[in-house]
Chain A
Amino acid sequence: MKKGYRKERLDRGIKARTDDIFAICSPREIAYIALPRFIVIGALLMFPLLAVLTGIYWQNVLIITCTIALLALSWDLLASAGLVSLGQALFFGAGAYVTGFLSHHYGWPPILSVPAATVTGALLCTMLLYPVLRLRGIYFGLITFAMPLLMMRIVEATKILGGTEGLSGLAPLPGMKVELYVIITVTLVCVFGFRRLIDTDYGLVLRAIRDNDRAVMAGGINIQWYKTQAVFIAALPATFAGAFLTHHYQFVGMPAFALEYSILPLTSVIIGGTGSFAGAMLGAFILVPLSEVLRAFGTLRVVIYCLILLVFAIGLPEGIFHYIQRKYYQFERLVPVEEIKK
């Protein structure tokens, strides 16, 4: 740094980001705000068209990435209402098994069974979690952690829904391009929808429950009911992800409740940053492709995830997204240091 100068940080976005007085001053300002999200939307929508470049392998990776992103979004919405989930696999597995059941036993086509499984699965999970919504903090987390793993045991032991074999030969989805566009659209709708939802007064109530539930109760609000709604809404993308991936693989089995569907979304959110939804998505888009690259390392890659997770959880708790956002909205410039006269 030049001598006699110091670094000054300026926040350039303030004018345009003020919550309510949304002042758009010039095309430049508009571009400044809108460009990042249009780049994301554009890039995602272009992806399926570039099949020549990407190949079927990376298209599959994108589908898994979006799945994890949906689970991470679901996690983030729950966390916004103060419900820390350690078992996203519960939602994933519920969606997967409902669609598997409908498709296998009644021969429903995916266009019916996926939406039905999304809603029914979310309802089932909400009912299952309803009694524990009264518990606060870590209690909810511990119970959600145990639930999918116990579900797995149940399926294994009772041999319902195919037991250890699972249900295979389910109806396929109609082609890669459709698949890609469906999952990309759903992911984008969720990200932007959730970002908007959490900024409404309804979202405010949810966040308030997280911050100070007693004050919300004193405000005449039935927090149990709002938490239930939050669980249902948050379960939707996750059960959809489960149902969708089931038809993608044309198979559902015990791995639907596997630990990785709980860990990967959580890791994504921790890497990307909580509370913004964009962070959750960004995290998934870093983590999942990275894990594909690390596939050669075998189980050592799980060790690597864990180390990444530790570094982020301890070193950069705000997450990458918030860090980038902060930097994006800031200028740095050098200003001369004023001499202090004695």
Chain B
Amino acid sequence: MIETVLIYGLVNSVTLILTAIGFSLTFGLSGIANFSHGGLYILSGYSAWMMMHYIGLPFALAAVLTVIQVGILGGLIYRAVIMPVRGIVLSEVVATFAVGVAILEFFRWRGFVTYDFNLPLFIKGSIGIAGVFIDYQRLFIIGIGLMLAVILWFFTHHTRIGLALRGMAQDEYTALSLGIESDWAATLSMALGAALAAVAAIIILPLGIISINMGYDVLLLALAVTILGGLESTNGLIVGCFILGYARVITGTYLGPEWMEVIYLAAIVLVLVVKPSGLCGKSKELEERV
């Protein structure tokens, strides 16, 4: 029992990290709450599916193409939709949300709602670890998820571009004076976030079928973990994912699956009451230095 909880808790947590990391990255780097995240996630799933079934590409190629294509789409969304309203937070959210919902509902309208839509597993089969059976795909998810988290941490902390982007998020004026162009940085952050959504979709979606409503769930999950961990904070995201991931599995195992979803709200409300800026959020007190 305890082994199951440990292993599936890890799977759950890493899945959450993968799901939310694109949203969190975009928000952390450019302050854009990309509400089309769920739409892009599902779009990636369908896009890979269409490439395989309409054009007949192998899955690996379709996956790579999808990531690139959705990444470019993310950048385009910034250029076409966000840039004209940049700085007006409400309009940013509304515009990206409109894009996301438009994508999802377009697919629903085109009839992408049956059980035919699923992606193949990367690796078939399963393995027993400490008496718990787990399929290779889930192990693969853990591997990719942790790898991505490390790569991103390295990218934002040790590469020139990453540092530039982070600088932008912290102090736009100084960054501007250092010759970092804000629109370029934001375009890149949107593209990266979108590409990460696509990566997540391509390795998580094979576990089940692709459904439209999952798009809304993904957005909600991404919001929930970022709120819990503290917006803008990468560490917070990971902490939030692990807390929610394990909390879900523990409640699911011991209390019954119907309580799994309740734990979100309970956790979030609790954190908000105690620390409104999230577990690792920078405190949003009115602080200023000289």
A residues contacting B by CB (< 8 A) are: 79, 84, 86, 128, 131-132, 134-139, 141-143, 145-147, 149-151, 153-154, 156-159, 213-214, 217, 259, 263, 266, 270, 298-300, 302-303, 305-307, 309-310, 313-314, 317
Cα separation A314 to B85 with both chains bound (whole Å): 6
Cα separation A309 to B33 with both chains bound (whole Å): 17
Residues of A within 8 A of B106 (CB): 300, 303
Q: Are B93 and A303 in contact (CB under 8 A)?
A: no
Known contacts A139-B284, A314-B84; A300/B105 CB under 8 A: yes
Residues of A within 8 A of B259 (CB): 157-158
Q: Are B94 and A313 in contact (CB under 8 A)?
A: yes
Q: Are A136 and B284 in contact (CB under 8 A)?
A: yes
Interface residue? B89 (CB, 8 A): yes
Known contacts A151-B265, A154-B261, A157-B262; A299/B109 CB under 8 A: yes
Cα separation A335 to B258 with both chains bound (whole Å): 73
Known contacts A157-B262, A158-B262; A300/B109 CB under 8 A: yes
Residues of A within 8 A of B269 (CB): 128
The 13 sampled A-B contact pairs (Cβ below 8 Å) are A132-B272, A134-B284, A138-B93, A141-B93, A150-B220, A154-B261, A157-B258, A303-B109, A306-B102, A309-B95, A310-B81, A313-B95, A314-B95
Q: Are A142 and B231 in contact (CB under 8 A)?
A: yes
Chain A residue at minimum C-beta to C-beta distance from B101: A306
Cα separation A299 to B102 with both chains bound (whole Å): 10
Q: Are A131 and B276 in contact (CB under 8 A)?
A: yes
Q: Which of B98, B105, B264 has the most CB of A within 10 A?
A: B98
How distant is B278 from chain A, measured CB to nearest CB, in Å?
9
Q: Are A156 and B261 in contact (CB under 8 A)?
A: yes
Q: Are A141 and B284 in contact (CB under 8 A)?
A: no
Cα separation A132 to B268 with both chains bound (whole Å): 11
Known contacts A150-B264, A159-B258, A314-B81; A138/B89 CB under 8 A: yes
Q: Are A131 and B272 in contact (CB under 8 A)?
A: yes
How distant is A157 from chain B, measured CB to nearest CB, in Å?
4
Bitwise interface map of B from 6 to 41 toward A, beta carbon under 8 Å scored 1, else 0: 000000000000000000000000010100000000
Residues of B within 8 A of A128 (CB): 269
Cα separation A86 to B100 with both chains bound (whole Å): 15
Cα separation A170 to B85 with both chains bound (whole Å): 45
Q: Are B90 and A84 in contact (CB under 8 A)?
A: yes
Q: Are A158 and B258 in contact (CB under 8 A)?
A: yes
Bitwise interface map of B from 245 to 280 toward A, beta carbon under 8 Å scored 1, else 0: 000000000000011111011001100110011000
Q: Are A141 and B90 in contact (CB under 8 A)?
A: yes
Residues of A within 8 A of B98 (CB): 305-307, 309-310, 313
Cα separation A79 to B95 with both chains bound (whole Å): 17
Known contacts A303-B102, A303-B105; 6 additional CB pairs below 8 A are A135-B284, A138-B31, A158-B258, A158-B259, A309-B98, A310-B95
Q: Are A270 and B94 in contact (CB under 8 A)?
A: yes
Residues of A within 8 A of B265 (CB): 147, 150-151, 153-154
Closest 3 CB pairs of A and B: A306-B102, A153-B261, A302-B105
Q: Are A146 and B33 in contact (CB under 8 A)?
A: no
How distant is A38 from chain B, measured CB to nearest CB, in Å?
32
Cα separation A84 to B91 with both chains bound (whole Å): 11
Residues of A within 8 A of B220 (CB): 146, 149-150
Residues of A within 8 A of B99 (CB): 306, 310
Interface residue? B2 (CB, 8 A): no
Q: Are B102 and A150 in contact (CB under 8 A)?
A: no
Q: Are B85 and A313 in contact (CB under 8 A)?
A: yes
Residues of A within 8 A of B31 (CB): 138
Known contacts A131-B273, A300-B109; A154/B94 CB under 8 A: no
Cα separation A303 to B107 with both chains bound (whole Å): 10
Interface residue? B78 (CB, 8 A): no
Known contacts A143-B227, A309-B94, A314-B81; A157/B286 CB under 8 A: no
Known contacts A84-B89, A132-B276, A313-B95; A142/B101 CB under 8 A: no
Q: Which of A79, A302, A317 has the most CB of B within 10 A?
A: A302
Interface residue? B108 (CB, 8 A): yes
Residues of B within 8 A of A79 (CB): 90
Residues of A within 8 A of B130 (CB): none
Q: Are A317 and B284 in contact (CB under 8 A)?
A: no
Residues of A within 8 A of B85 (CB): 313-314, 317
Cα separation A101 to B84 with both chains bound (whole Å): 46
Cα separation A309 to B97 with both chains bound (whole Å): 10
Interface residue? B200 (CB, 8 A): no
Interface residue? B141 (CB, 8 A): no
Known contacts A84-B89, A299-B105; A146/B227 CB under 8 A: yes
Interface residue? B238 (CB, 8 A): no
Interface residue? B49 (CB, 8 A): no
Known contacts A131-B272, A214-B286, A306-B98; A157/B261 CB under 8 A: yes
How distant is B102 from chain A, measured CB to nearest CB, in Å?
4
Residues of A within 8 A of B90 (CB): 79, 84, 141
How distant is A291 from chain B, measured CB to nearest CB, in Å?
13
Q: Are B224 and A86 in contact (CB under 8 A)?
A: no
How distant is A221 from chain B, measured CB to nearest CB, in Å?
14
Bitwise interface map of B from 64 to 81 toward A, beta carbon under 8 Å scored 1, else 0: 000000000000000001
Interface residue? B1 (CB, 8 A): no
How distant is B280 from chain A, measured CB to nearest CB, in Å?
14
How distant is B193 from chain A, measured CB to nearest CB, in Å?
15
Interface residue? B216 (CB, 8 A): yes
Cα separation A305 to B93 with both chains bound (whole Å): 15
Q: Are A306 and B105 in contact (CB under 8 A)?
A: yes
Interface residue? B129 (CB, 8 A): no
Cα separation A143 to B90 with both chains bound (whole Å): 14
Interface residue? B146 (CB, 8 A): no
